[in-house]
Structure 1
Amino acid sequence: MIRLYIPQPLAAGAAVAPTLDQSRYLTQVMRLKAGDDLLVFNGRDGEWRCSVAEVLKRGCLLKADERVRDQILPPDVELILAVVKKSPLEFAVEKATELGVRRIRLVRTARTQPQTIRLDRLDTIAVESAEQTGRMDVPEIVVSEPLDALLDGWDPDRRLMFCDETGGPPALTALPKAGGAGWGILIGPEGGFSPDERERLLALPYATAVSLGPRVLRADTAAVTALALWQATLGDWER
């Protein structure tokens, strides 16, 4: 069944207005008519079976009929990704959403190359990925900030998985020993972290340095690998 993310309140009998683009998709691409059903979620009120109430000249209206799933949030893990080029950045956002990350934070490091970031495009990718994968929320994407600023404001009760390309214990060994409920997963830029950045990260009491294996991974591949390893050890894959 078609699933749409519509950030409007959902309750029994509520009228729901898709965007014009969503309405075109429903009525012109998927050929839905009045009375046809689809699933809608907003990240707060669970997943609802809605029906097309009316097809208008411009857009359509839906009616929320029945909640079919209660709201479930993914594990409290966020991806902290050094800004990379457009294609790998978009890939990382798509796959991180599929893997259940709750938030994506973009950072600038000493070796980050200047890039134009279209947050609207990344938000669209995250929404489409959430719709396709069955999750009931969309990860927040936070605008880029310097790595030092992020670490200065870090909550020390939150663990940080530092993916160290120079070595470290295997993630599957190190993560279970570290414990902790809330986590961040830090992925560096092309060229890796600078010596000063690495020294600071290794000194942080809440950071766990891990290796992602014997091969040097691209940033987008490292993000997917790290999230999969974290999910396998501390996440919700046994749900």
Structure 2
Amino acid sequence: MSIKIKARLFSSADMGTGVTITPSTDQAHYLLKVMRAQNGDHVIVFNGRDGEWLSVVQTISKKACALEIKEQLRPQIPEPDLWLAFAPLKKSNTDFLVEKATELGVSRLIPVFTENTNTTRVKSERLAAISMEAAEQCDRLSVPEVAEPLSLTELITDWPKGRSLLVPDETGGGRSLKSVLETSIDDAGITPHGFLIGPEGGFAASELDALDKLPFVNRVGLGPRILRAETAALAAIACFQAVAGDWQQAPRFNNGYFFNARK
């Protein structure tokens, strides 16, 4: 028996069988006005902690509704602990990068201002909304944290001990990313990593010098071609997932329990 699903939504509320949660104003508008949800329609919900759940719409008014959770569809599972620090790009390119990095499975997004960064303003709330929508659409069980923007100095000063910072190097001076990742894997898995993607104009020489002096920084190569910043970021994430991440797992298109009818 298949069940038609109206939408898949993130909620920060605790989840369990019999629990009723209240969608945000925007989510209620989407369900009731865009998707034309009615009483009894099914919605998938997740919170990044308790797995994924099947819920049923309970219409309260024309502008608000509640979701009654019926049963768990998937338990919460560990996900790759991969951070992406990036110099903000032109608006549409930054939006694209955040969306696709979320789809590829990063756990934290950190906007970083560098000497050659072309933009001076970043709206973290907007990026968080883009990331949440991407997580809802791609069936992942969590939403990446979007950090407040930092300067490069602040980033490297506060970088956590034990987490490697990989910097794609277009000059050809870095080791192959694949080889760096393979040597980071042991019986316990892979050590925590993060990527730092520079601005469209590249890092300043002084910034590269400062990075080279840090023991947790490694320059890595992404092949023989010069890549745009957003391309480099997504290529690096994809390589990480293929070598050391969760790309060994099969996708879940249709588990036989429900038919996903999202558009």
**Same fold per superposition (TM over 0.5):** yes
Counterpart residue number, 2:97: 92
1:160-209 superposed Cα distances (whole Å, 9 cap, x missing partner): 11111212222112221244421111100111111121122223222221
RMSD: 1.4
Report the Cα offset of residue 212 of structure 1.
1.2
Q: Which has the higher contact order (CA 8 A, sep 6+)?
A: 2
Q: What amino acid sits opposite 2:126 in the alignment?
A: R
Query: Which residue among 173, 177, 189 is the counterpart of 1:171?
Result: 177
Report the Cα offset of residue 150 of structure 1.
1.2
Counterpart residue number, 2:117: 112
Report the Cα offset of residue 90 of structure 1.
0.6
Structure 1: which 5+ residue stretches go unaligned? none
Counterpart residue number, 1:29: 34
CA distance in 1, matches of 2:35, 2:178: 44
Is it true that 1:210 corresponds to 2:210 in the alignment? no
User: Residue 189 of structure 1: SS of its match in structure 2?
Assistant: coil
CA distance in 1, matches of 2:78, 2:101: 15
Is it true that 1:157 corresponds to 2:167 in the alignment? no
CA distance in 1, matches of 2:63, 2:29: 8
Is it true that 1:3 corresponds to 2:3 in the alignment? no
Q: Could you tell me the TM-score, scaled by structure 2's length?
A: 0.86
Aligned 1:65-80 pairs, distance under 5 A: 65-80=70-85
User: Residue 125 of structure 1: SS of its match in structure 2?
Assistant: helix
User: Residue 61 of structure 1: SS of its match in structure 2?
Assistant: strand
Q: What amino acid sits opposite 1:34 in the alignment?
A: N
Is 2:176–2:220's contact at 8 Å kept on the other side of the alignment?
A: yes
Is 2:32–2:63's contact at 8 Å kept on the other side of the alignment?
A: no
* Residues 195-204 or 76-85, more deviating: 195-204
Q: Which runs of 4+ in 1 moved over 3 A?
A: none
Counterpart residue number, 1:183: 193
User: Residue 130 of structure 1: SS of its match in structure 2?
Assistant: helix
Q: What amino acid sits opposite 1:125 in the alignment?
A: I
Counterpart residue number, 2:126: 121
% of aligned pairs identical?
A: 44
Structure 2: which 5+ residue stretches go unaligned? 250-263
Counterpart residue number, 2:235: 225
